[in-house]
Structures are given as C-alpha cells and as structure tokens.
C-alpha cells in the first residue's frame, strides 16, 4: 500500500534529517516491518496516544508493533503536513488502522521528539469521536 507520506506534488523536498527519520519510520510501519521501524526509535522511547496510558521503552513498543504486523492487521498513513522545529517534528496526517476488511480512518496530529537522531517521544493527539466515527464508516464499507 502506498503511504502517501511524501510531500504533496509541487512542494519543496528539501528536508532535515529529523523529517527523513520520521518519514522512514512511518513508511516502515505501513510496510508492516517492525524491525525496520525499530531502527528509528530511541531505546528509551515513550509512545503516548494522548488520553491513553503512555507506553515506555523499546520492548513494550515493539510488542505492539509486532502485534500490528500479524496477518489481517495493517496500518496506513496519509501525511498532510510535516514540519521540523529543531528537536521536534510535527505531523498532521490521516491514520488508517486495518483489521481484515475493516479500515478505520481518522485525523491525527503527531509530535516526534528527537534525541541522538532517533525518535525519543512519539505523542499523537486525536479525537476519540473521530476514531469512533472512522470505525463506524469502516464497518459500513466492509459490509
């Protein structure tokens, strides 16, 4: 599946190293390759989907990624905007969670805090209502 995580047509592709890391990380998740994704994460990674508990450490994050890469599961992303602010990369995107024929699409604003060239904090903000609505629409489309 194409990630569409690259710059929209006609935009400048001059990017910082941090932006390239975040793009490559998201591309690895879309490819269902947790081992490739791991190389972009700091060992002390903190993954926080705001309103949910924080997931701390590379081991805990990788257990989730490996679960997401099982047959029938998937992830896609449409990256709308990406910006580097020194040690942070900000994203505005549509994430797609996939389970068999069900595709739940919802808007996400993400912050990736960088340390030593790797993602040390990944914080996503989204509306639970949008996730629910995206899931309901996905159920209708699946049937």
Q: What is the pLDDT of residues 36-80, one digit of tens each?
A: 999 999 999 999 999 889 999 999 999 999 988 889 899 999 999
Identify the CA nearest to 84 among candidates 40, 19, 130, 36. Answer: 19
**Per-residue pLDDT, 7:** 44
What lies within 8 Å, CB to CB, of 47 at 6+ separation is 54, 55, 56, 61, 64, 122
Which residue in the list 84, 95, 116, 130 is annotated as catalytic?
A: 95
Which residue among 33, 44, 84, 124 is the active-site one?
A: 124
| Tens digit of each residue's pLDDT (9 = 90 or more) over 91-102 | 999 999 898 988
Query: Active-site residue 124, yes or no?
Result: yes
| pTM as predicted | 0.84
Per DSSP, which regions of 19-142 are E strands? 41-49, 55-56, 73-84, 88-99, 102-115, 118-125
pLDDT at 90 over 90: yes
How far CA 40 is from CA of 82, 114, 138, 139, in Å, comes to: 17, 10, 30, 33
Cα dihedral across residues 14, 1, 90, 92: positive or negative: positive
With a cut of 90, say whether residue 143 has pLDDT above it.
Answer: no
- Model confidence at 123, in pLDDT bands (50, 70, 90)? very high
Cβ atoms 55, 62 nearer than 8 A: no
pLDDT in tens, 97-122: 898 988 889 899 999 999 999 999 99
Residue 35 is a catalytic residue: no
Question: What does the domain layout of the chain look like in residue ranges?
Answer: 17-142
- In the sheet that holds 41-49, the strands lie side by side as 55-56, 41-49, 118-125, 102-115, 88-99, 73-84
Fold of 17-142: Nuclear Transport Factor 2; Chain: A, (3.10.450)
């Amino acid at each position: 599946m194409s990630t569409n995580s690259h710059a929209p047509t006609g935009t400048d592709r001059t990017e910082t190293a941090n932006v390239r890391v975040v793009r490559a990380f998201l591309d690895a998740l879309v490819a269902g390759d947790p081992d490739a994704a791991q190389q972009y994460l700091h060992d002390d990674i903190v993954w926080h989907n705001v309103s949910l508990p924080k997931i701390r450490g590379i081991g805990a994050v990788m257990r989730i990624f490996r679960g997401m890469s099982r047959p029938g599961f998937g992830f896609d992303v449409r990256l709308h905007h990406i910006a580097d602010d020194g040690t942070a990369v900000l994203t505005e995107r549509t994430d797609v969670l996939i389970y068999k024929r069900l595709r739940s699409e919802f808007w996400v604003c993400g912050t990736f805090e960088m340390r030593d060239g790797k993602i040390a904090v990944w914080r996503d903000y989204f509306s639970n209502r949008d996730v629910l609505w995206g899931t309901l629409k996905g159920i209708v489309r699946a049937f």
